[in-house]
Structure 1
């Protein structure tokens, strides 16, 4: 049976996790991006070739781009978006295809690429995990950011807890919470609360329907280039799949994904299926979403989360959270058998553990936690394939 392509996210030569580490972990493909190129600028062919050569010299292949950032000018459909930023995006896609790289992950989340409120939640075994807490977010929103009418977005119980926590915060606590939340804004410069406020005003005018319309416009603009050069675009779900700080969300669950797929109903327009992001949604049935859109999944992130009744969540062991990972993998194993090329996946995030507790790493991207996750996912895949093979043999 055809198996997943096992990949690993690598942040480039400055990543504390080396390509040799990746090979030892057992991955064969690399997921990376040219982070030194400013958002909205063309990725030069020479820079792509150089990165690809580094990866191949280590005995690996560059399988997926994560990500070619979509400039805010495109998301907001600014006057200069088509003439400059769309054209630059098209040229980057052409350059990637010229280097035989054909899967591109992106997101269309306004301003914030991801949001957590704590990066080092200590687990019972001493490992550390990423964590999202509604009361901490509300404390930031209501008392630090002081967004107008923010209280309308939270239940009374969360507001009460946020007030209680904020009164106990030290100045250092305030700065740390602000740092962690603003870390989710991809930018070449430090972002101030004033910058964030201006962005929120703009997106309030655009709204959810406007943002979805802008996504469709973006996809139609790049469609001919994608189809000519065999590029597959894979949109990542909102992380977490809820409106944050009043910002609209358009890729949070099954209904959203159906709108995106049917809005530009062509093979290039697909999904990066992230079990962790989707799993954080209280109402999301992750296996049901997988069954419904598996035909448009171009890439997958496998991680797990554990939620409480409020919707707070921490990133759990890859096989130990609320998402039925065995069921999800089995759905995609079946899908892989009908494809010429299997779906690439990577173990998404991982606990900071063992020796990595004493290292500075990108949040969620320490080596050992992801190594454990990859080993668990590989073992689960092997077991599911074996069960399928035995079932077919005994028919």
Structure 2
């Protein structure tokens, strides 16, 4: 059976460890979010956080995430020292018994949404990404040079009309939603700082970013192999280029090529059903079957794809993920390999009492608890049926 966890953002998280335990999870996935990107995670800090979690009756065996500094992604002048710091953090995590380490290689911005409170028919609130809204920001708020080359004429016209109809508050809200930093994001920006951050990638196209990703893994995977660590890359979210930035972990072909280039056992995948599922050309159950030996961590959520590049977070058993077939594939993988894979329910709806509370977007308690309960029941039903055959 999968190892049931929830994400926890540390002592400042509105959702407390007690809440997560009562929701039925056996562990948390977390990080030293107070550490600056590129700093070494010390054994003392790791052990202190681990002890805090243990006192609450929970385990911490998966890091989400150990950030990769932008200077590593661009192969900037400080990359060697930053890679040395990364290697030391891996060494310290392994010494503390934590050996599944999540990271991503998305340039500048982490996961991105354009609406954090999209009303569902039942009154719950969901996260949503809309390409039209992203174009409004890119063309009319950010005013990125050459942005019009990335959108078709009809979308450009829609974005212009939409921007003209927005008041100052609506424009500010869209700006903050996109670049202020969502939970777990590594950076937060204002528009001027965002423009400067984008400029670092003026000469980094998709092939260059892929090469830089391979170079990073070649520098850290031999040590990770020795330490028994599995580095699991989180796919791009959303899984396509944004604001002129390349994204290179979006499809099955992307990750297969990455594993071919860096075949080390430590080079693994965090399989996020929502990130991959935002593209209709990603076959989620098939990816579990074909990539299974590389999967070290699971994010189970479902998105509902909409026309014109939009999608929203659906209930965990609804949407386009095909969660029944997906969990069946996971069950077969675990049975075949004789292991339990950590998973967490991801991006729950804000619902019930959480509608009146201060919550982190996507990480309120009750929506994730509902998702965890539904996924647990689904997996146990699948396991029971398999045992009867």
- What is the TM-score with the length of structure 2 in the denominator? 0.97
Whole-Å Cα distance in 2 between the matches of residues 312 and 184 of structure 1?
20
Asked if 1:33 corresponds to 2:34, the answer is: no
Whole-Å Cα distance in 1 between the matches of residues 75 and 291 of structure 2?
28
Range 376-385 or range 145-154, more displaced:
145-154
Alignment partner, residue 106 of structure 1? 103
Whole-Å Cα distance in 2 between the matches of residues 197 and 210 of structure 1?
20
Task: Report how far residue 187 of structure 1 moved.
Answer: 4.8
Could you tell me whether the CA contact under 8 Å between 1:269 and 1:296 is conserved in 2?
Answer: yes
Deviations 1:31-55 (CA, angstroms, capped at 9, x unpaired): 0000011100001111100000011
Q: How does 1:186-335 map to 2 (within 5 A)?
A: 186-187=185-186, 190-335=188-333
- Give the secondary structure class of the aligned counterpart of 2:237: coil
Could you tell me whether the CA contact under 8 Å between 1:282 and 1:311 is conserved in 2?
Answer: no
Deviations 1:291-316 (CA, angstroms, capped at 9, x unpaired): 22111001010000001121200000
Whole-Å Cα distance in 2 between the matches of residues 383 and 211 of structure 1?
42
Could you tell me whether the CA contact under 8 Å between 1:102 and 1:232 is conserved in 2?
Answer: yes
Deviations 1:315-355 (CA, angstroms, capped at 9, x unpaired): 00001001111111111111112335311000011000000
Range 280-289 or range 54-63, more displaced:
280-289
Whole-Å Cα distance in 1 between the matches of residues 306 and 161 of structure 2?
20
- Give the secondary structure class of the aligned counterpart of 1:205: coil
Asked if 1:122 corresponds to 2:119, the answer is: yes
Could you tell me whether the CA contact under 8 Å between 2:27 and 2:59 is conserved in 1?
Answer: yes
Could you tell me whether the CA contact under 8 Å between 2:66 and 2:101 is conserved in 1?
Answer: yes
Whole-Å Cα distance in 2 between the matches of residues 334 and 289 of structure 1?
13
Asked if 1:166 corresponds to 2:158, the answer is: no
Alignment partner, residue 83 of structure 2? 86
- Give the secondary structure class of the aligned counterpart of 1:388: helix
Could you tell me whether the CA contact under 8 Å between 1:275 and 1:304 is conserved in 2?
Answer: yes
CA RMSD in angstroms comes to 1.2
Give the one of 141, 161, 171 matched to 2:138.
141
Deviations 1:240-262 (CA, angstroms, capped at 9, x unpaired): 00100010010001110111111
> Structure 1: any 5+ residue segments left out of the alignment?
none
Range 337-346 or range 72-81, more displaced:
337-346
Q: CA 1:245–1:324 in structure 2 vs 1: closer, same or farther (change >3 Å)? A: same
Deviations 1:190-209 (CA, angstroms, capped at 9, x unpaired): 52222222232332301111
Asked if 1:45 corresponds to 2:43, the answer is: yes
Give the one of 361, 364, 367 matched to 1:366.
364
Asked if 1:349 corresponds to 2:347, the answer is: yes
Deviations 1:334-390 (CA, angstroms, capped at 9, x unpaired): 111233531100001100000000111111000000000000000110111111111
Give the one of 70, 73, 83 matched to 1:72.
70
Could you tell me whether the CA contact under 8 Å between 1:7 and 1:63 is conserved in 2?
Answer: no
Could you tell me whether the CA contact under 8 Å between 2:61 and 2:97 is conserved in 1?
Answer: no
Whole-Å Cα distance in 2 between the matches of residues 183 and 193 of structure 1?
9
Asked if 1:339 corresponds to 2:357, the answer is: no
Task: Report how far residue 29 of structure 1 moved.
Answer: 1.4
Deviations 1:258-295 (CA, angstroms, capped at 9, x unpaired): 11111101211000000001111132222222222111
- What is the TM-score with the length of structure 1 in the denominator? 0.96
Could you tell me whether the CA contact under 8 Å between 2:232 and 2:267 is conserved in 1?
Answer: yes
Q: CA 1:231–1:379 in structure 2 vs 1: closer, same or farther (change >3 Å)? A: same
Alignment partner, residue 378 of structure 2? 380
Alignment partner, residue 2 of structure 2? 4
Deviations 1:104-129 (CA, angstroms, capped at 9, x unpaired): 00000000101100000011111000
Alignment partner, residue 11 of structure 2? 13
Could you tell me whether the CA contact under 8 Å between 1:253 and 1:289 is conserved in 2?
Answer: no
| Deviant stretches of 4+, over 4 Å | none
Whole-Å Cα distance in 2 between the matches of residues 324 and 340 of structure 1?
24
Deviations 1:63-84 (CA, angstroms, capped at 9, x unpaired): 20000000001101112201x1
> Structure 2: any 5+ residue segments left out of the alignment?
none
